Amino acid sequence: MSVLEIKGLHVSVEGKEILKGVDLVLKTGEVHAVMGPNGTGKSTLSAAVMGHPSYTVTQGEILLDGENVLEMEVDERARAGLFLAVQYPSEIAGITNAEFMRAAINARRDDEDKMPVMQFIRKLDEKLALLDMPEEMAERYLNEGFSGGEKKRNEILQLMMIEPTFAILDEIDSGLDIDALQVVAKGVNAMRGEGFGAMIITHYQRLLNYIVPDVVHIMMGGKIALTGGPELAQRLEKEGYKGISEELGLQIEAAEG
Amino acid sequence: MKLNKQTTVLDDLTAFSKHKNEPDWMLQLRMQALSKIEALPLPNIERVQFDRWPLLEAEQAFQAMSADDLEGVSFQIDEKSEQAAVIQFGQHTVIEKLPESYRQQGVIFTDIFTALKDYPDLVKEAYMQLAVQPDEDCLTAFHAAFMNSGVFLYVPKDVHLTEPLEAHFFQNSRIKEPFVKHVLIYADTNSSFSYVEKFETLFHEPNTANCIIEVVAKPGAEVKFSAVDQLGENTTAYFNRRGHLMHHAHVDWALGVMNNGNVIADFDADLVEEGAHSEIKAIAISMGRQIQAIDTRVTNIGRHSIGHILQHGVVREQATLTFNGIGHILKGASGADAQQESRVLMLSDKARGDVNPILLIDEHDVTAGHAASAGRVDPEEMYYLMSRGISKEEAERLVIRGFLGSVIKAVPLKGVREELIETIERKLIE
Ligand SMILES: Nc1ncnc2c1ncn2[C@@H]1O[C@H](COP(=O)(O)OP(=O)(O)O)[C@@H](O)[C@H]1O
Ligand SMILES: [Mg+2]
C-alpha cells in the first residue's frame, strides 16, 4: 500500500496565500473527491502536489510513502508515482500523442527495460478502444486542435497508459456531455484497485454518480472544511456550498460559481 | 574586401587550370573574377556582421593534391544499391557510381573537371551564367576564381529518374586548404529526379568554405533537392544555393543547416518564367557560440509563379541564428504568389534568434504573406511534459524535435526525413 500525505499545507501564488493549512491523506485503493466553490484553491492544491513552478509552498509537508515530495522536481514526482490530469492541457505541435506517451512510459524504466514497440501499441489500442477514441488520435500532435472533450479523454488515456500510483484529476468533467462523462468515468473506474488511488476534484456532484468516491472532502477558504462519505456529495447537491458553510459557520470568500 | 593570398596567385591559378585541362573560357572566367574580388563588396545579409570573418582565404587553394590526403580515411557505398553516387574528399573524387541504365539515358553525374573536359558546352551553358553570376559580390567572385572541386549533374530532356542521386562532400581539414565547391545541376526540359547532397568536415584545421550550388531547371523540369550541411566548427562557410526556374519548372528544396561553425547562407529561387514553382523548406540548429545567418529569397519574375518559404530553427547556448525571408515580386509577375513562414526557438537566455521577413512587391495582382516569430520554449509546455515523468533534457528534445518536425514532415523524400531526424538527435545529444 502507498500513502500520499498532505500536512498543514500553505501555498501562495504571486505572494497571495491561497491554501491555508490543508490536511489530507490518500491511500491506494481509495478514491477521494475534493469539492468546493470556484476559486477556493482546489487547482492550487493539485498544482502544488505536482510542483508547478508558479505555486510556492510556504508551510507544511507533502509525503509520498514518507518521502519528501517537495524536494523533488516535477519529473521526479511523476516518476515517483504521481499524476495530474490538468484542466487545460498544453498543445504541443510536432510531437505525436503516441510518441509522447512512449517517452513518458520509458522515462520510468531502465535503459535495458524499455517497453517494446509492439507491446506499447497493443496497450495503446486497448485503451483507445476503452475510451472510445479513434486510433488516429494517437498519431495526432499532442492536444493540438483537440476539442475540450478530446483533451479530457486524452488526459485519461495518458493516465491509463502511464498507470501511476496516485492520480489527481482536476475538473476532468468540466465541459463534457453525458456520454463523454461516462467514458471518462469508465476509464477511471478501470484503474481502480489495490495499487491505485485517486483524488477527483470536481465542482459538481454529477461525476460522482459515475465514479463513486470512498471519501468526500469539501474545501472552502483554502482549507478542508468537511470530510465525509459519498452522502456528503449528495447533501451538497441539495443544500449548495452556501448551506453547508452556514451550518459550519464559515464565510465563503470566493464567489460561488 | 581584401584577399588573403600568395603573390603567385595568378600563376597558381593558371597552372591549376592547365593541369585540369580546363577549356579556355573557364580560365578566362577565373581570371576575370580574380581581378574583381577586391573591388566587390560582401553580399548584403541583413542583421549580421560578418565583415571580419575569414571568408577570403585564398592561400593553398590550388596546392597539388597528394595521395597522403587519403591516408586514414575511407569511404564506402552500398555496392548492391542501384543509386547514383559521388563522394569527394577535399579535392579528390573517391567514388563515382552511375547505374548503367542512367548512363544509357544520357545522365551525367561526375566530377566538375571531368565534365569540363568531356561536356564543355553543356557546362558552359549553365556554369555561373544563369543562376549565380561571378561578379555579384566578392564571395561569388572568389568562388569563380578559386573553385577547386565540385560535381556536374545533367539529366536530359524527358528523362525521369526514380531513385535519388546522391553526393557526399567531405571537406579535408587535415590541411590548410579552402574548400571551394561547385555543384552544377542542369535539369533539361521535362526531366524529373531527386538529388541529395551532404557536406561534412573531417579533421580540425581552421578553413574557409565557399560552396555554390546552382540548379538550372528548364521548362517543365521537376527537381527535388535535399541537403544536409554539417561542416565542422573550425570552418567558416559561405553557402549559396540558387535555382533558376523556367516555364512551369518545379524545384523543391529541403535544407538542413546543421553546421558547427559560423555560416552565412543564401538560398534563392529565381522564378524567371511563367508558372515556375519553388518550395524552400529549411531547418537549422545553432549551438555553442556559433553564428548562422540565412537569407532565403524567392523572386517572382514570371506570371503565376509560386514561391513558398518555410523555415524553422533552434538556437542553443550562446549561439545566434538569423533567418531573413525575402519575397520579391517583380513588376509584370501578375498572378504570382509569395508566402513565407520563419520561426526561431531559443533555448537559453543567451541564445539569440532573429527572424526578419521582407516582402517587396512591385505588382498589384498578386498574393503574398508572411508569418514570423522568435521566442522561447513555453514553460507551461515544459511543465506539462515533465509532469508525465519526462526529464527536462528529454522534454526539451521533444519540443525541439516537434518544432523542427513540422518542417521535416513536409520534406518529400523519406530517406531525407530520416537523415534530418537522425542528425538533429545527434546534435541535441552533444
Ligand atoms: N497562476 C495563478 N496566478 C494568479 N492567481 C492564481 C493562479 N492560480 C490560482 N490563482 C488564484 O488562486 C485562487 C484559487 O484558484 P484555484 O486554485 O484555481 O481555485 P479552484 O480550482 O478551487 O477554482 C483564485 O483566487 C485564483 O485567482
Ligand atoms: Mg480549478
Over residues B345-376, the pLDDT tens digits come to 999 999 999 999 999 999 999 999 999 999 99
A96: closest CA among B428, B408, B286, B341?
A: B408
The domains located in chain A, with CATH, are 3-90+165-197+206-248 (3.40.50.300)
Q: Would you state the pLDDT for residue A54?
A: 96
Q: Can you list the alpha helix ranges (DSSP code H) found in B105-152?
A: 112-118, 120-126, 138-146
Q: Is the CB of A222 under 6 A from ligand 1?
A: no
Q: Whose CA is nearest to atom 6 of ligand 1?
A: A13
Exposed e or buried b for every residue in B130-141, given b needs 16+ CB within 10 A?
bbbebebbbbbb
Assess A145–B contact: CB distance below 8 Å, yes or no.
Answer: no
Average pLDDT over residues B387-395: 95
Task: Please tell me the distance from the alpha carbon of residue A224 to that of residue B395, in angstroms, as a whole number.
Answer: 35
A141 to B402: CB separation less than 8 angstroms, yes or no: yes
Virtual CA dihedral for A121, A122, A128, A133, nearest 10 degrees? 60
How is chain B split among helix, strand and coil, in percent rounded to 5? 25, 40, 35
| pLDDT value of residue B410 | 78
Segment B148-174 mean pLDDT: 97
Report residue B166 as a C-alpha cell: 546522391
Tell me what percent of the residues of chain B surpass a pLDDT of 70.
Answer: 100
Chain A interface mutation, best of B341, B382, B386, highest count of A Cβ atoms under 10 Å: B386
Q: Tell me how close the Cα of B395 comes to any Cα of chain A, in angstroms.
A: 9
Sorted by where each begins, the domain ranges of chain B are: 6-61+80-377
The predicted structure's pLDDT at residue A175: 85
User: Which of B 354-393 lie inside 8 A of A, CB atoms?
Assistant: 378-381, 383-392
**What pLDDT, on the 0 to 100 scale, is given for residue B137?**
97
| Cα A198 to ligand 1 centre (Å) | 21
- Per-residue pLDDT tens, chain A, 257 aa: give them: 999 999 999 999 999 999 999 999 999 999 999 999 999 999 999 999 999 999 999 999 999 999 999 999 999 999 999 999 998 999 998 899 999 999 999 999 998 999 999 999 999 999 999 999 999 999 999 999 999 999 999 999 999 999 999 999 999 998 898 999 999 999 999 999 999 999 999 988 899 999 999 999 999 999 999 999 999 988 888 888 888 878 776 655 444 43
Question: Does the pLDDT at position B18 exceed 60?
Answer: yes
Specify the pLDDT at position A257.
37
Residues 6+ apart with CB under 8 A from B203: B172, B173, B174, B232
Whether residue B281 contacts residue B255, with contact meaning beta carbons closer than 8 Å, is answered with: yes
Per-residue pLDDT for B79 more than 80? Answer: no
Lowest mean pLDDT, pick from A245-254, B86-95, B354-363, B421-430: A245-254
Decide if B401 and A141 are in contact by the 8 Å CB cutoff. no
**8-state DSSP, A136:** G
Lowest-confidence segment of A152-161, B112-121, B280-289, B403-412 by average pLDDT: B403-412
* pLDDT tens sequence across B46-69: 889 999 999 999 888 888 777 788
Closest to B242 measured CA to CA, from B307, B190, B296, B195: B296
